[in-house]
Chains A and B, each alone.
Chain A
Amino acid sequence: MTDLAVLLPFLLQGAVLTVQVTVLTVPVAALVALLVGLGRLAPSGLIRLLANVYLEVFRGTSVLVQLFVFFFVLPILLGVRWSSMQTAVLALGLNFGAYGSEVVRSAVLAVDRGQREAAVALNMSPLLTLRSVVLPQAFRLMLPPFGNYVIQLAKATSLTSLVQVQELSFNGYVAIHTTFQTTQILTAVAVIYFVIVFPASRAVRWMERRQLRGSLGGLRS
């Protein structure tokens, strides 16, 4: 019992890294999602093809496999040795960015066609239309699905323990194999994850409901 009290700070330290990895990955994933999502809507067939290939490759292979590829293969290919944390953030960012691209694409397409037509009538360039008219409106639509992905990302950080990132799962594993207080430690780990994830997912669901209400109630012609 007292072992747990001693181990708890160690586990919480891991939890801090869990949050850290999540927070660092979000901007990477968001950037990738935007680029690939818009790429899939580009007028150029070549860009669309590249974006779609990217999407299918990163969606079609397992995220764990991708983590391993980046961890083992990348140093060989590029001759650089990155830290586990950097590798993990990159791999997770590229993977979740792929899923995020679908969100970006749907949101942009969901913006009312009349908005684009008004922009044409005002002689706005396609880029200006995207920047000023479409993206700001699409952004609001992207938030709940993005929120869901952030939660999945937080859980996926557990996989980075397998590439030596010392987050919660890693520390939990180490603790189990050094003290053999398996049940207590794993329960503590599960509880900590729950405390991190559950409130966040409630918040996202609240966001989803709020947006659903807004779009139906605020519709004025």
Chain B
Amino acid sequence: MSEPIVRFLRVDKSYGKLQVLRGIDLDVAAGEKLVIVGASGSGKTTLLRCLMTLEKIDGGVIEVEGEVLGLPKTADRQAADERRLRRIRGKIGMVFQQFNLFPHMTVLRNVTEAPIHVLGLSKADAEARAVGLLTKVGLEDKVHSYPSQLSGGQQQRVAIARALAMQPKVMLFDEVTSALDPELVGEVLNVIRQLAHEGMTMLIVTHEMGFARSVADRVIFMDRGTVVEAGPPEQLFEAPEHPRTRAFLRAVLER
């Protein structure tokens, strides 16, 4: 309750000469739904990817439940650091814009593979958990299908179930509806809404402003690698303070 579950402290990240994150300071409370909006290149996706350890940060510190999520700068990582990293990483789950389902596995196996081999669940337990989650996202009749046989919306829902099967403490959603045909967006957003109700801590990057307003506890607007403005959704969307925020919202709403 007192300590944030995720903490970014003066986090910097550059790709070569391009600085993508500049001194980000951000606290996320347990159970909070944080929505991140901004133009492309603002660094919002990079923020998520750094938390998911898909990228290394160049400066500052990321903490998860008080522990530093660090990839040691030295080339040779010790076994202990590696184990520690994996333990902390296990608390974070992520759903991608391109779903990234494993095409050579059935839906069921997509969801059970990591629980079996990473968490050590028995096949029976993993399958039971998987079926439960797939039922929750409305795909219990597709357990033996292959990803190529599913629509985009269905694939994304499987991806969500797959991430949830690892029982993370924090879920990251990186523009998860941007690659979907418009009529399939709603089914995915509903699943996320339901998850939000159940108290999961979430960081959501999205372009869906209506959805953002309805699900967010707090919205932050990022531009050129910094958090320009943050606040509850009513405030940010109705009465944004910063001129850049206003410009962005105007551009988005004019679409």
Q: State the CA gap A117–B101 with chains docked (Å).
A: 11
Q: Is A221 in contact with B103, judged by CB distance below 8 angstroms?
A: no
Residue B39 interfacial (CB < 8 Å): no
Q: Scan residues 187-206 of chain B and give those whose CB is less than 8 A from a CB of chain A.
A: none
Q: Is B114 in contact with A123, judged by CB distance below 8 angstroms?
A: yes
Identity of the chain A residue whose Cβ is nearest the Cβ of B162 in the assembled complex: A122
Q: Smallest Cβ distance from A156 to chain B, in angstroms?
A: 33
Identity of the chain A residue whose Cβ is nearest the Cβ of B95 in the assembled complex: A121
Identity of the chain A residue whose Cβ is nearest the Cβ of B102 in the assembled complex: A133
Q: State the CA gap A121–B174 with chains docked (Å).
A: 12
Residue A137 interfacial (CB < 8 Å): yes
Q: State the CA gap A137–B102 with chains docked (Å).
A: 9
Q: Is B100 in contact with A117, judged by CB distance below 8 angstroms?
A: yes
Give the chain A neighbours of B98 by CB distance below 8 A: 114, 221
Q: Is B152 in contact with A122, judged by CB distance below 8 angstroms?
A: no
Q: Is B117 in contact with A128, judged by CB distance below 8 angstroms?
A: yes
Give the chain B neighbours of A114 by CB distance below 8 A: 96, 98, 100
Residue B90 interfacial (CB < 8 Å): yes
Residue B52 interfacial (CB < 8 Å): yes
Give the chain B neighbours of A117 by CB distance below 8 A: 54, 96, 100
Residue A218 interfacial (CB < 8 Å): yes
Residue B93 interfacial (CB < 8 Å): yes
Number of interface residues of B (CB under 8 A): 29
Q: Smallest Cβ distance from B104 to chain A, in angstroms?
A: 5
Identity of the chain B residue whose Cβ is nearest the Cβ of A114 in the assembled complex: B100
Q: Is A220 in contact with B90, judged by CB distance below 8 angstroms?
A: no
Residue A187 interfacial (CB < 8 Å): no
Give the chain B neighbours of A115 by CB distance below 8 A: 100, 102
Q: Is A118 in contact with B102, judged by CB distance below 8 angstroms?
A: yes
Q: Smallest Cβ distance from A131 to chain B, in angstroms?
A: 9
Q: Is B86 in contact with A121, judged by CB distance below 8 angstroms?
A: no
Number of interface residues of A (CB under 8 A): 19
Interface string of B74-111 (1 = CB under 8 A from A): 00000000000010011011101011111110000000
Q: State the CA gap A209–B163 with chains docked (Å).
A: 36
Q: Is A137 in contact with B103, judged by CB distance below 8 angstroms?
A: yes
Residue B53 interfacial (CB < 8 Å): yes
Identity of the chain A residue whose Cβ is nearest the Cβ of B149 in the assembled complex: A220
Residue A27 interfacial (CB < 8 Å): no
Give the chain A neighbours of B101 by CB distance below 8 A: 118
Q: State the CA gap A118–B99 with chains docked (Å).
A: 8
Residue B166 interfacial (CB < 8 Å): yes
Residue B121 interfacial (CB < 8 Å): no
Interface string of A193-221 (1 = CB under 8 A from B): 00000000000000000000000001011
Q: Smallest Cβ distance from B118 to chain A, in angstroms?
A: 5
Q: Is A125 in contact with B86, judged by CB distance below 8 angstroms?
A: yes
Give the chain B neighbours of A122 by CB distance below 8 A: 93, 113-114, 118, 162-163, 166
Q: State the CA gap A122–B93 with chains docked (Å).
A: 7
Give the chain A neighbours of B152 by CB distance below 8 A: 220-221
Known: A133-B102, A136-B104, A220-B148. A118 touches B96 (CB 8 A): yes
Residue B179 interfacial (CB < 8 Å): yes
Give the chain B neighbours of A128 by CB distance below 8 A: 117-118
Cross-interface CB contact of A121 among B104, B163, B179, cutoff 8 Å = B163
Q: Smallest Cβ distance from B120 to chain A, in angstroms?
A: 12
Q: Smallest Cβ distance from A213 to chain B, in angstroms?
A: 14
Cross-interface CB contact of A132 among B103, B117, B162, cutoff 8 Å = B117
- Interface residue ranges, A against B (CB under 8 Å): 112, 114-115, 117-118, 120-125, 128, 132-133, 136-137, 218, 220-221
**Could you show 11 A-B contacts with beta carbons less than 8 Å apart?**
A114-B98, A114-B100, A121-B93, A122-B163, A123-B114, A123-B166, A128-B117, A136-B104, A137-B104, A221-B152, A221-B179
- Interface residue ranges, B against A (CB under 8 Å): 52-54, 86, 89-90, 92-94, 96, 98-104, 113-114, 117-118, 147-148, 152, 159, 162-163, 166, 179
Known: A121-B93, A122-B163, A220-B147. 8 other contacts (CB 8 A): A112-B100, A120-B54, A121-B163, A123-B86, A128-B117, A132-B102, A132-B117, A221-B179
